[in-house]
């Protein structure tokens, strides 16, 4: 059989798209970044690094502060137990010897305002302001001395007070405690939700946590005044079950509510807290 004729090769197309294309030139690098942009970038990176370092330092400081707060709480708990044990032993020794045990006098009172300002003489109004008892059912801690006892006696028809125990002091501060933060004339009432609030205000007195604050108030410590001034006056609720059926004007010892109720103030605090 005869061989098939071969197709002659097609001549190269003269179409412009098939013309020789120039070779692509590789880029030697990105265009130079302006110096101002580089400076801004370096500054941003520096700030970010400093913030990261500060955040880590703050986190470490919080951990250390938390550990210190737990340590102090344990120390105070041991101190309270030892003091209670001492009183129990002293009472037993007194009974054994046929004597009466007379405890040390109270150092701190808790004062609650129970009446308004109707027909109140100016002197009594001033004393209540000095005691920071501006509203009914406000409560404050007061360091007992000759001057404060005289002041409370002068306004007895408008207040009731007594000697708080550790349980009452702790529950008042933990449940209703607010701090006074700011400057004179521009105070802010801040809830004590973080120990840092206490440390910022009272750290220079070595009071850095809630347990420090409780201890300073309960024991009437060296910096009781500063710690107590930091505490905003407590805003208590009406007592569960109400006040006594007799008038608030009548003294507590006569069946009313006014005046000194000594250790029985703790029952009233429980009803109002």
pLDDT of residue 247: 67
Contact 231, 180 (CB under 8 A): yes
Contact 126, 151 (CB under 8 A): no
What residue segments make up the domains of the chain, in order of their start? 41-104, 108-272
- The reported pTM is 0.75
Instruction: Say how far apart CA 182 and CA 188 lie, in whole Å.
Output: 6
Contact 157, 114 (CB under 8 A): no
pLDDT of residue 23: 46
Instruction: Say how far apart CA 100 and CA 245 lie, in whole Å.
Output: 35
pLDDT of residue 131: 96
pLDDT of residue 148: 95
pLDDT of residue 14: 54
Average pLDDT per 10 consecutive residues for the chain, totaling 273 residues: 55 52 52 80 82 76 80 91 87 81 85 89 94 96 96 94 96 96 88 93 94 96 96 94 74 84 94 92
Residue 8, helix vs strand vs coil: coil
Question: Checking phi first, is residue 255 left (phi over 0); if not, alpha (psi -120 to 50) or beta?
Answer: left
Class of the domain covering 108-272: alpha beta
In residues, how long is the chain?
A: 273
Residue 142, helix vs strand vs coil: strand
Tell me the two tokens of residue 220: 């009437």
pLDDT of residue 96: 82
Q: Which position has the token pair 């707060």?
A: 69
Sheet holding 108-113, edge to edge: 234-235, 138-143, 108-113, 159-162, 259-260
pLDDT of residue 105: 82
Q: Please, where are the H alpha helices in 4-119? A: 35-96
pLDDT of residue 1: 47
With residue 110 as reference, give the H or E element that holds it. Answer: strand 108-113
Tell me the two tokens of residue 236: 């208590």
Neighbours of 223 (CB within 10 A): 16
Instruction: Say how far apart CA 273 and CA 136 lie, in whole Å.
Output: 14
- Beta strands at 108-113 and 159-162: parallel, antiparallel or unpaired: antiparallel
């Amino acid at each position: 059989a005869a061989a098939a004729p071969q197709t002659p090769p097609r001549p190269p197309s003269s179409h412009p798209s098939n013309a020789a294309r120039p070779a692509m030139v590789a880029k030697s690098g990105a265009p130079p970044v302006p110096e101002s942009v580089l400076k801004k970038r370096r500054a941003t990176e520096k700030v970010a690094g400093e913030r990261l370092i500060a955040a880590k330092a703050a986190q470490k400081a919080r951990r250390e502060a938390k550990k210190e707060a737990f340590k102090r709480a344990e120390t105070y708990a041991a101190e309270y137990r030892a003091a209670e044990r001492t009183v129990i032993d002293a009472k037993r020794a007194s009974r054994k010897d046929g004597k009466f045990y007379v405890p040390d006098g109270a150092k701190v009172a808790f004062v609650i305002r129970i009446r308004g300002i109707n027909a109140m003489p100016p002197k009594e109004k001033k004393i209540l302001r000095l005691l920071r008892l501006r509203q009914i059912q406000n409560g404050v801690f007061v360091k007992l001395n000759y001057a404060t006892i005289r002041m409370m006696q002068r306004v007895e028809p408008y207040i009731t007070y007594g000697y708080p125990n550790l349980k009452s002091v702790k529950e008042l501060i933990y449940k209703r405690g607010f701090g006074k933060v700011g400057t004179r004339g521009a105070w802010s009432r801040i809830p004590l939700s973080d120990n840092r609030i206490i440390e910022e205000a009272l750290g220079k007195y070595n009071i850095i946590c809630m347990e420090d604050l409780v201890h300073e108030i309960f024991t009437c410590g060296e910096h009781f005044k500063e710690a107590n001034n930091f505490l905003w006056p407590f805003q208590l609720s009406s007592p569960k079950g109400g006040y006594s059926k007799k008038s608030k004007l009548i003294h507590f010892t006569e069946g009313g509510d006014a005046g000194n109720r000594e250790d029985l103030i703790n029952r009233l605090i429980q009803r109002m807290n």
